[in-house]
Structure 1
Amino acid sequence: MPRKPLTDIDIENFRKSYCEQAYALYQQEDYDAVTIRGIAKAMGCSPMMAYRYFENKEAVFALLRATLFHRLADALEAVPLTLPPLEYLTALVVAYAGFAHDEPHAYRLLYMIHVHQAQDYPETELAQKRTRKILFDATRKAIDVGDLQGDATLIAHSIWACVHGLVSLELANQLTQGAGFDQLFPVMLENILKRHNPRNLA
């Protein structure tokens, strides 16, 4: 009897399960140690079967990163939109840092390990843009109401770069010079926002 053709749901479920297994192996070892063959073995299938669903390891982690970017976006979107613009922006930054602290393996895979260029994979790029849009829209809103002054894109990039730098140092256990993340984070954030406060630019 011929094998029943796979449905779109069958394909989606396999790809999802395969990515979950890849993520589990990545957390146990590291990105470089994970292979298509190793994931397939853990899944109980053949590598040849895996290649029916993914071109290569990079494609597996591209889909996985898309999932994790959406998870980060969900965490950011949990911040109440009813907050005043500057409080909302501040809360977003806190939520971003909180995600990195709660899910360090995910954060490293999103921002600290060179896996591939997001634009090479439309699904990953779309998910990444979703997270970026939340921060950039919040920055523009704070500017529109007069809480901040300057170019929204540059300010949003500056905020992200500063927070990412501090988060990365924490995850790499490099904050060993006498001040920890909990001490540095509020000072850094306050200084960034003060730098673009219209009252300080007058």
Structure 2
Amino acid sequence: MNTKSKKEQHKVDLRQVIIEAAKKLFSEDGYQATSIRRIAKAIGYSPTTIYLYFKDKNDIFYALHQAGFIMLRNRFLPLAVVEDPFERLKALGKNYIDFAVQNPEYYAVMFLMSEPFQYLENHCVDQDWPEGERVFEFLEGTIQECQGKGYFKDQAYEMVALQAWSSVHGLATLAITKHLLKIVDIKEMPVVPEQLLDAIFDVYVSFLEGKK
């Protein structure tokens, strides 16, 4: 590897180190406490070094946002081979929820925080949301194929996709913020905590099946 290649690789590596340090601090102490100074201290560099790679803290969190969407898309892409679109739709929903539960820090940055969008609006010329758009288009395509099989008749596929996303997003958000377990406990519902998400998801699937 020549000197230029080594420098480029070091730049890529250090950028990733900064992102990982920010994710760790965010998961432990929250967004407000995750300052540029604290990130720099965590990796053993000066704050000035951080600014060589990122414009501000929102830029770092936008990078986390992008990384999360890459992870989510990588979970979705293998589902493209599922021939039955309705089965694929169910698998998309289950994968989405599993991703949220397994990666709560990424999920929060992707869907629960406004800061990445502030960076998008302030620093990106076209202000598009390519990460979310790619994932949503995959869902839209699946809905359209479901309509070809008789599901969701006389309904705009975009609206059906939004409804499906909203449903699993709500379930995922309630799960990672512990609201689901709290209400089940208060109401003394006869549900085993480890089976709670699957039980609610099955109800959601039953609702979808009734739309044929």
Structure 1 spans left out of the alignment, 5+ residues: 198-202
Distance in 2 (CA, whole Å) between partners of 1:81 and 1:190 is 23
- Residue of structure 1 equivalent to 2:165: 160
> CA shift at 1:72, angstroms?
0.8
The count of residues paired between Structure 1 and Structure 2 equals 193
**Aligned-partner Cα distance in 1 for 2:171–2:112:** 12
Matched, 1:185 2:190: no
Closer/same/farther in 2, CA of residues 5 and 105 from structure 1, 3 Å limit: closer
- 1:124 and 1:68 map into 2 onto residues whose CA distance is 17
Amino acid at match of 2:176: L
Which structure features the higher share of helix residues? 2
Matching residue's letter, 2:33: A
- Where in structure 2 are there 5+ consecutive unaligned residues? none
For the aligned residue pairs, the C-alpha RMSD in angstroms reads 2.4
Give deviations 1:7-63, integer Å, cap 9, x for gaps: 444333222221111111112221221011111111111001111111100001101
Contact 2:19 2:60 in 1 (8 A): yes
Q: Which residue of 2 aligns with 1:135?
A: 139
Does residue 125 (structure 1) correspond to residue 141 (structure 2)? The answer is no
Q: Distance in 1 between matches of 2:114 and 2:10?
A: 30
Deviates more, 1:26-35 or 1:113-122: 113-122
Q: Cα distance, 1:80 vs. partner? A: 5.1
Seq. identity, %: 25
Secondary structure of 1:89 counterpart:
helix
Q: Secondary structure at the match of 1:139?
A: helix
* Partner-residue secondary structure (3-state), 2:32: helix
Paired residue type of 1:56: D
The offset of 1:163, in angstroms, is 1.1
> Which stretches of structure 1, 4 residues or more, deviate above 3 A after TM superposition?
4-10, 121-124
Aligned-partner residue type, residue 197 of structure 2 = F
2-side partners of 1:181 and 1:49: how far apart?
A: 43
